[in-house]
Chain A
Amino acid sequence: MSQGHPENTAQQHPMALEATPPIYRADMTLTQVTRDIVAPLDRRPNGWWWFGFLISITLLAIGASAVVYQFREGLGILGLTYPEMWGTYIVDFVFWIGIGHAGTLISAILFLFRQRWRTAINRAAEAMTIFAVVCAGLFPLLHVGRTLLAYWLIPYPNFRQLWVNFRSPLIWDVFAVSTYATVSLLFWYLGMVPDLATVRDHKPGKWARRVYGFFAMNWRGTARDWHHYESAYGMLAAIATPLVLSVHSNVSMDFATSTAPGWHSTIFPPYFVAGAIFSGFAMVITLMVIVRKIYDLEDYLTVDHMEMMCKIMLVTSLIVAYAYATEMFNAWYTSDIYERNRFYGVHFGLTWTFFTGPYAYAAALMVICNVLTPQLLWIRRLRRSMPVMFVISLIANLGMWFERYTIIVSSQARQFLPSSFGYYRPTRFDYAVLAGSFGLFFTLFLLFVRFVPVIAVAEVKAVLRQPVGEPAAVMEESHA
């Protein structure tokens, strides 16, 4: 360490270390943490849980019947018709895969940034990610029409020497999404192992102990267990980090690699990633506001945690707004008349502009929900208020669905030839399957909160006696 010059050291003030507050209440004990988080698993679910479960399973049933009907009748029951060959299934796919981004961001990127407040939300966010990816994965399978042949998407040696088109972004999607699903699942499950052991040790029933014990993989909590666990966790975090960027970039390329006006835009990859994180955090906020209330977890999911998530939402909303503005500016600036027509064109007396044409409602909803309402989060009082953030998060999710609708559907309606312009009307089956995906998502989430600790018990305990930040010097030492 180098020394200051002697003549410079005249100024010396002892400064007290600003007391860094703990993340969780200072009087919380380790036993209490286990009790608070594990106890709900032993109780019978309350009326609210059953109410939610009933609604979810009903929605799921509606969606499933629509899907069965589609298998019988074919894709004709949907609103797909030329030029609109990518309809709400693709919108739903992008929507759900976007929702799935918050989990990995929280568990991987915030972990690498040493944001220890993530311990309260990472378990639920990761679970949400997996369920969202499950929902997302269904849509391309349904969209291809002959779902039973979907395994053709996987490149494997076959007698006819037929291979997938490796240059197609749709195939990249297959790889990206399945990698993402695998890594997220591993990450989620690995993080859960110590907690499953905790549940195992608290369950009175013999069978429950066996089942949890099986999934806890004989976890004993020895120093060796922890050592292996932590190095694996850090490694998975590093692997998962590029996936946060790559998956949604890939999804954006389904559109951006084409030459279609409104789709071909180089800013799409980062714009889609920011949008995905925005919608993902909106969904985490929606779920956490409910979970902390009905499970009495206000001491764990504190207002400060919720405020942090609101801030991330605000930042990503601004990035999305920047992308919208860039698109609008570029559509004016460009010399490409098709791109201009997509946003500001006038044909046959029809004004096909972005904000006055037939899809104006979707474009307006997109701007109001994703750009305007999140600006309320600049106000501290509002971003610390549960009802306000709950409503804003719902609005944001609505807006993000309509953003994808605007990008995917309304761009196809305005391609090169005015004679090929069209208008897309989703049918009741489109809506039924969308409702079914929500049903699937919430059913899985409700089962998750019923059977697995919704907060990472071991991770909360690890930071219980430490202040918020992890001292960098300590990190250094542990790495050395």
Chain B
Amino acid sequence: MSSLHDTAVIKIEDPGPAQISPRLRRGFALAAGVGIVFTVLGLFLEPHRAWSGYLVNYLYFLILGMAGLFLTALHYAAGATWSIPFRRIAESLTRYLPIAALSTVVLVFGFKDIYPWAAGTVHFHRATKTAWFGYGFTAGRLIIFSALWALCGWIFVRRSLNQDAAWRRGAATNWEPRRVPGGFGKIPSFNGRFSAAFLLFFAITFSLAAIDWLMSLEPNWNTTMYAVYIFAGLFEAGLALVLLISVLLRRRGSMGQILRDHHYVDLARMLHAFSIFMVYIGFEQYLLIWYANYPSEAVYYHQRIVGGWGYVLLFLLFAKWVIPFTVLLNQKIRKNEKALIAIASLVLFAEWVDLYWLVMPVTHAHFVLPNWAVIAELLAFLGLFGWAVTSFLARNSPVPVGDPRLVNAVAGDYL
């Protein structure tokens, strides 16, 4: 047994800003620039395909940014200790959210090319639903939601950086959950309360937005699991991205002595668990629709299985669940950085493919590879996302050094 509790004093070194090469950041900026030029070209030359591709790429990176926000809020709301070393990385993802909010504004211009209800090819027989999918109302709520998410992200990051600054000054902060006198229960801090409120807000707004973004591609088709499915993808991809970034930063020596093997083990275990959650949600939705075999409902999967799209679904099954599940079962692999990089990258790629598979079959009966316009959009958003995240990490410490319980997290002394 190690003598964790004998070491009453653990030195927390401030690793300083992350070691991110300026070349990488320049690369992201260049990708964004080139991508944006070709995206604009695509949107004008091939509007139909390019706008669908825009939706895929816009959603993919927005979901990754939202995953950072969600994981941060979840961390605070649960009063968790084990996840403190990863918190700043999750926070860094939220730096993309203002850009995402701006791209929501751009998306509004593509409504007519993306959504049948905006193009006027579908008419609802009810005034309330017609009003719900009014151009202005839909655009308005999506823009307001994404702006509010960006604001919440800003509040979390602001408070977290202030806490670091206070620690550097040697001042004490009182922002962490306190213990109940004489017991082990915790009294939540402001962050905990704010996070709980945010999670409620997130559940409502993200579900409505998921319906607007994706389910309304087929406005007369609906299922109650839909938002949960998108959320399951967000959760799995978010854990994978936080894991990927932390492994890459630690390999470059940017995490100091703070991130240790046991943190990997725990985060990889979470990824393992939520890969099961993903397949659970996806499979249950599929099973129930297949079983009931309502023509109006089953058409959704029919469209996404015939014409070669079924192979994509099969790939998703393996990339999102079978491979992560079987590989991460092994306790030793959860510490193996190369394996973690591979698994996290696979899951992240699969999330993109998932969105592609959700969006593209609506307009393409047969499987199509992404064309130049879609790839340009991917490049543009990847550049913007990467630039936002790396710029933040290059200026700030990639671990929340000011968190008074960071030392417990380093020692593996949880709860």
**How many Å from the CB of B108 to the closest CB on chain A?**
21
Interface residue? B12 (CB, 8 A):
yes
Structural contact, B4 and A2, CB atoms closer than 8 A: no
Given A264-B288, A304-B183, A318-B200: A8 and B8 interface contact (C-beta under 8 Å): no
Residue tally, chain A, CB below 8 Å to B: 71
Q: A17-B7, A303-B183, A473-B260 are in contact. Are A335 and B220 (CB under 8 A)?
A: yes
Docked-complex contact A471 and B294, CB < 8 angstroms: no
Q: Are B224 and A8 in contact, with the CB atoms below 8 A?
A: no
Contact mask for chain A residues 234-263; partner B; CB cutoff 8 A; 1 contact, 0 none:
000000001001000100010011110000
- Whether, in the assembled complex, B185 has its beta carbon less than 8 Å from a beta carbon of chain A, the answer is yes
- A residues 311-350 near B (Cβ < 8 Å) are 318, 322-323, 325-327, 330, 332-336
Distance (Å) between the CB of A243 and the closest chain B CB? 13
Q: How far is the CA of A290 from the CA of B179 in the complex (A)?
A: 26
Pick from A242, A245, A258, A267 the residue with the most CB of B within 10 Å: A267
Q: Which residues of B contact A2 (CB under 8 A)?
A: 250-253, 255
A380 to B177, CA, bound (A): 13
Give the residue among A1, A14, A266 with the most B Cβ atoms within 10 A: A266
- On chain A, the residues within 8 Å of B19 by CB distance are 5
Known: A15-B9, A471-B413, A479-B331. A257 touches B291 (CB 8 A): yes
Interface string of A449-480 (1 = CB under 8 A from B): 00000000000000000011111111111010
1/0 per position for A1-35, CB-CB distance to B under 8 A?
A: 11111011111111111101111000000000000
State whether B413 touches A249 (Cβ < 8 A): no
Tell me how far the C-beta of B86 lies from the nearest C-beta in chain A, rounded to whole angstroms: 13
Tell whether, in the assembled complex, residue B406 and residue A15 are in contact, meaning their CB atoms are under 8 Å apart: yes
Listed stretches B61-69, B278-286, B348-356; interface member: B278-286
Question: Would you call A8 and B222 a contact (CB within 8 A)?
Answer: no
User: Does A308 make an interface contact (CB < 8 A)?
Assistant: yes
User: Residue B159 at the A interface, CB < 8 A?
Assistant: no
Partner of A472, one of B9, B255, B414: B414
Closest chain B residue to A340, Cβ basis: B126
Tell me the nearest residue of chain A to B7, going by C-beta.
A17
Cα A284 to Cα B200 with chains together (Å): 26
- In the complex formed, the residue of A with least CB distance to B224 is A267
Which parts of B266-292 form the interface with A (CB within 8 Å)?
A: 266, 276, 280-281, 284-285, 287-289, 291-292
Confirm or deny: B296 has a beta carbon within 8 angstroms of a beta carbon on chain A. Answer: yes
Closest Cβ of chain A: how far from B315's Cβ, in Å?
22
Contacts of A303 in B (CB 8 A): 180, 183, 185
Which of B2, B129, B285 contacts A474 (CB under 8 A)? B2
Q: How far is the CB of B268 from chain A (nearest CB, A)?
A: 12
Evaluate contact between B253 and A4: CB separation under 8 angstroms: yes
Partner of A257, one of B200, B288, B404: B288
Q: Least Cβ distance of B322 to chain A in Å? A: 15
Convert B289-317 into 0s and 1s, putting 1 for each residue whose CB lies closer than 8 angstroms to a CB of A: 10110101000000000000000000000
Taking a contact as CB atoms under 8 Å apart, the answer to whether A472 and B1 are in contact is no
Name the A residues within 8 Å of B405 (CB-CB).
Answer: 18
User: Nearest 9 pairs between A and B by C-beta?
Assistant: A8-B16, A11-B14, A469-B414, A469-B415, A267-B224, A266-B225, A4-B256, A304-B185, A472-B262
Q: A17-B408, A267-B224, A268-B224 are in contact. List 9 more A-B contacts (CB 8 A).
A: A3-B256, A13-B12, A18-B404, A257-B291, A304-B185, A384-B185, A472-B265, A473-B2, A474-B4
Q: Please name 13 pairs of A and B residues whose Cβ atoms are closer than 8 Å in the assembled complex, sorted by A.
A: A8-B15, A14-B9, A16-B407, A17-B407, A22-B184, A304-B183, A318-B200, A330-B222, A332-B128, A332-B129, A468-B414, A471-B5, A473-B2
A→B interface (CB under 8 Å):
1-5, 7-18, 20-23, 114-117, 242, 245, 249, 253, 256-259, 264-270, 302-304, 307-308, 318, 322-323, 325-327, 330, 332-336, 380, 384, 467-477, 479
